[in-house]
A = this chain, B = another copy of it.
Amino acid sequence: MPRTQPPTRFAYLGPEGTFAEAALSSAVPPGEGSRQPAASVPAALAAVRSGEADAALVPIENSVEGAVPATMDALADGDPLLITREVFLAVSFVLAVRPGTELAAVRSVASHPHALAQTARRLAELLPGVVPLPATSTAGAARQVADGEVDAAVCAPIAAQRYGLAPLVEDVADHPGAVTRFVLVAPPGPLPAPTGNDKTSLVAVVGDRTGALLELLREFSVRGISLTRIESRPTRERLGVYSFSLDCEGHAADARVGEALAGLHRVCDDVRFLGSYPRADGRENKPVPPTAADDAFAEAAGWLQAVREGRA
């Protein structure tokens, strides 16, 4: 069911109060459109595929909320979906309690096991002797605090706020500065217009032979395109076949990216285009070499036509 309207019904990796919800709010002002939490990344994407939601916001890199490979896999398989936007969110944990609770009174603390792992040292200092309890999500832990089941939660500020908790200690991550990358995913439809600072995502499947990856990467480098991420992914179904999930600089509408995509489509066993969208990590794409700019492609195409007609 292709898109025809801007999305108004948003799914996100829930429950309420996750970093995904915070990321969605940073991308779409809270007043715009409805939003529904989903139990998992596959569930969020399924909501888009079935038409229940117009778009879904899910973590794709480095998240503490859940397995990112799940997002990669859920995008690579099933009905096609397109990334229309990326959102980066600083992952800032707070130790949240019911208002009025003091640190000395905290006898139990809960969070998602990933969040507990990322705050283990600080928790041991702050709450010596307290054994952390697992929760299904950081937001779920916040709710448990609100419900009085545990005394404290390691969660996102938005979760503390949503469940009426007080942030007793800010920034309890052992290694502060973590950032999670989220993507907004929608059904096939018009690509976001090129902005001059875009990224393109895709999954390419190639046979397992020496140099296959190099061959794949040549399609980018020969056209002056930089990659920003690459991951080999095992393909369970077929032995001896590799899948590469990658992001490159540029937009499918750019001549150089288009030619590279077409080249990959020719030489790979399979290519799934996952979208072109504005780069949002605060960095600028590397300058496009003049020989790879759109006008260089246009000029070369004109010259080739003259060559083929015997006019050159």
Contact = CB atoms under 8 A, between A and B. Distances in A.
- Top 6 closest A-B pairs, CB basis? A262-B300, A134-B136, A265-B300, A210-B226, A262-B304, A134-B134
Contacts of A189: 310
Contacts of A190: 309-310
A192 B73 CA distance: 35
Contact of A304 (B2, B265, B296, B310): B265
A221 B222 CA distance: 10
Contacts of A311: 2, 188
Given A210-B221, A232-B229, A291 B307 contact: no
A289 B137 CA distance: 50
Given A134-B140, A232-B227, A266-B297, A209 B286 contact: yes
17 contacts: A40-B117, A67-B117, A134-B135, A175-B236, A188-B311, A189-B310, A210-B221, A210-B226, A213-B217, A213-B230, A214-B218, A217-B217, A230-B230, A239-B283, A262-B300, A266-B299, A273-B312
Contacts of A226: 208-211
A219 interface: yes
Interface in A8-27: none
Given A259-B259, A263-B300, 15 more contacts: A2-B311, A67-B114, A70-B117, A80-B312, A188-B310, A190-B310, A191-B308, A230-B232, A262-B297, A262-B303, A262-B304, A265-B300, A266-B291, A266-B299, A266-B300
Contacts of A61: 234
Contact of A231 (B40, B188, B231): B231
Assembly stoichiometry (copies) = 4
A40, A177, A231, A308 pick with most chain B CB within 10 angstroms: A308
A301 interface: yes
Interface in A198-231: 208-211, 213-214, 217-219, 221-231
Interface in A59-115: 61-62, 66-67, 69-70, 80, 82, 112-114
A259 B259 CA distance: 9
Nearest to A288: B210
Nearest to A262: B300
Contacts of A225: 210
A303 B265 contact: yes
A211 B132 CA distance: 45
Contacts of A263: 222-223, 300
A66 B219 CA distance: 35
Contact of A113 (B134, B209, B239): B134
Contacts of A236: 175, 177-178
B310 A191 contact: yes
B69 A307 contact: no
A225 B188 CA distance: 35
A126 interface: no
